[in-house]
Amino acid sequence: MRGQTTMYGKLRQLALGAALLTVGLTGAAPAAPVAAAQHAPARWSTGWASAPQHPVAGNEWDGPNWSVDGFRDQSVRQVVRLSVGGSHLRIRLSNRYGTTPLRVTGATVGRTRAGAQVLPGTVHRLTFHHSAGVTVPPGRDAASDAVALPTRALERLTVTLYFAGATGPATFHQEGLTTTYRAVGDHRYDPGDGAFAGEVSDSWYYLAGLDVTGGARPARGTVVTVGDSITDGYGSTPGADNRYPDQLAERLAAAGRPVGVANVGISGNKLVGSSTCYGESVLARFRRDVLDQPGVRTVIIEVGLNDLATSGLPDFGCGPSPVVTRDDLIAGYRTLIRAARARGITVLGATLTPVVGSIYEPVEETRLSVNRWIRTSGEYDGVIDLDRAVTDRGRPGLSPAYDCGDALHPNDAGTRAMADAIDLRRL
């Protein structure tokens, strides 16, 4: 989903699904991290996050990536923007979809200068249980030890991972809307970008989170945004951090509210149908990606359009799409609501955004019916009306001022309008 996407490619991309999953919240408990942060001065909040995905080959509409081949004797340099700062931080790595142990030889974090450059003198060595490296078993996660590095909200940090041996296929997040760099050899401590020239990707690899704690005004928990491409940011400017959760973080920072924002949206994702190409369903991944985020206090749920628009379509390469009705979506929302409340988490429901004029227009009547339930049922703790925030007041459909070009995904102005529709007091 980078650059200009053909209509067929876009339809195929969002049509990919797998069998209906209804046990993701009640099955086996998720594996605990194999390494936990040491000597943390306070509770952790999520400063940045991404949702892990199964490795998948690149294609003409999503672009290339490195997930299938993985890495060997290579350094991978990744830049993230914090939603909230602190006095200490840690990183979280995921080998959720690996088939062999992931051996990370070493890792560093530092302040971003420009591109792949790191501000000299700010590179900090990361450790795992006081060791330079860590081995993460298949299906497991790992957290680094706490490192003292004062940070502030909206600051960019650079994480460099070095893999001496072959990693095998890499757990990754496809729609990074970012630039990730790689270089042959160990370049964890290089402040310059010379070794990283020419080797770039638009995805994140193994990096699932960056958490913060402490500071003069410690973060007061985390808001988790979960959903599909509307949350993941497709249609916003790559490299600009203009997804709606990013712009929500900017509003919180401007208001002096130290609350982290974790974006665990996945482009093409569904509520009840899973896909190796576009992620496990929200029902299947809700515990790991949402409820287990450090400091989670509120969750915003935005998902369902892909379920409706691809309902019953055949297998295009990632599994068939289950038939999904309005009632199926409502049952799924209720499952998420119960799971969040069982943890004492506030759960906010977002209405489904406009589709008139897009390839999804055939589901318009069902979308409107689902939105009526979200607005009037009273089952969520609150409603965020993303639909009204970006709908053209003169006609049905996405406002031209907010349209990225496909009548479906908001542009930067549209993501700002969505972030502005959120009452910060609910968070």
98-124 confidence digits (pLDDT tens): 999 999 999 999 999 999 999 999 999
- Residues 286 and 390 reside in one and the same domain: yes
What integer pLDDT is reported at residue 314 of this predicted model? 86
How many structural domains is the chain composed of? Answer: 2
CATH of the domain at 304: 3.40.50.1110
As a whole number of angstroms, the distance between CA 282 and CA 16 comes to 15
- Residues 70 and 57 reside in one and the same domain: yes
Structural domain includes residue 44: no
- Residues 230 and 294 reside in one and the same domain: yes
Structural domain includes residue 112: yes
Structural domain includes residue 207: yes
Pair 302, 229: CB distance under 8 Å: no
- Residues 84 and 183 reside in one and the same domain: yes
**End residue of a domain, out of 193, 215, 237:** 215
As a whole number of angstroms, the distance between CA 192 and CA 184 comes to 14
**CA-closest candidate to residue 351, choices 223, 230, 175:** 230
Distances (CA, A) of 372 to 156, 367, 399, 407: 40, 9, 20, 21
| pLDDT (tens place) for every residue of the chain, 427 residues total | 333 333 334 444 443 333 322 334 533 333 334 444 444 455 999 999 999 999 999 988 788 999 999 999 999 999 999 999 999 999 999 999 999 999 999 999 999 999 999 999 999 999 999 999 999 999 999 999 999 999 999 999 999 999 999 999 999 999 999 999 999 999 999 999 999 998 999 999 999 999 999 999 999 999 999 999 999 999 999 999 999 999 999 999 999 999 999 999 999 999 999 998 999 999 999 999 999 999 999 999 999 999 999 999 888 888 889 999 999 999 999 999 999 999 999 999 999 999 999 999 999 999 999 999 999 999 999 999 999 999 998 889 999 999 999 999 999 999 999 999 999 999 9
**End residue of a domain, out of 215, 236, 271:** 215
Structural domain includes residue 43: no
Structural domain includes residue 311: yes
Q: Which helix (H) or strand (E) holds 191?
A: none
Task: Quote the pTM value.
Answer: 0.91
As a whole number of angstroms, the distance between CA 316 and CA 12 comes to 7
Q: What φ, ψ does residue 13 adopt, rounded to 5°? A: -60, -45
- Residues 204 and 225 reside in one and the same domain: no
- Residues 178 and 72 reside in one and the same domain: yes
Task: Write out the two tokens for 118.
Answer: 């790191």
Structural domain includes residue 41: no
- Residues 101 and 26 reside in one and the same domain: no
- Residues 256 and 311 reside in one and the same domain: yes
User: In sequence order, which residues have a C-beta less than 8 Å from that of residue 268 and are 6 or more positions away?
Assistant: 13, 14, 16, 228, 229, 275, 277, 278, 279, 306
What integer pLDDT is reported at residue 3 of this predicted model? 36
Structural domain includes residue 78: yes
The residue ranges of DSSP E strands in 354-416, in sequence order, are 382-384
What integer pLDDT is reported at residue 42 of this predicted model? 59
- Residues 201 and 233 reside in one and the same domain: no
**End residue of a domain, out of 215, 239, 255:** 215
- Residues 21 and 132 reside in one and the same domain: no
Structural domain includes residue 37: no
First to last CA, the chain: 31
List the domain range (segments joined by +) for residue 313: 1-30+220-427
- Residues 207 and 243 reside in one and the same domain: no
- Residues 139 and 276 reside in one and the same domain: no
What integer pLDDT is reported at residue 164 of this predicted model? 98
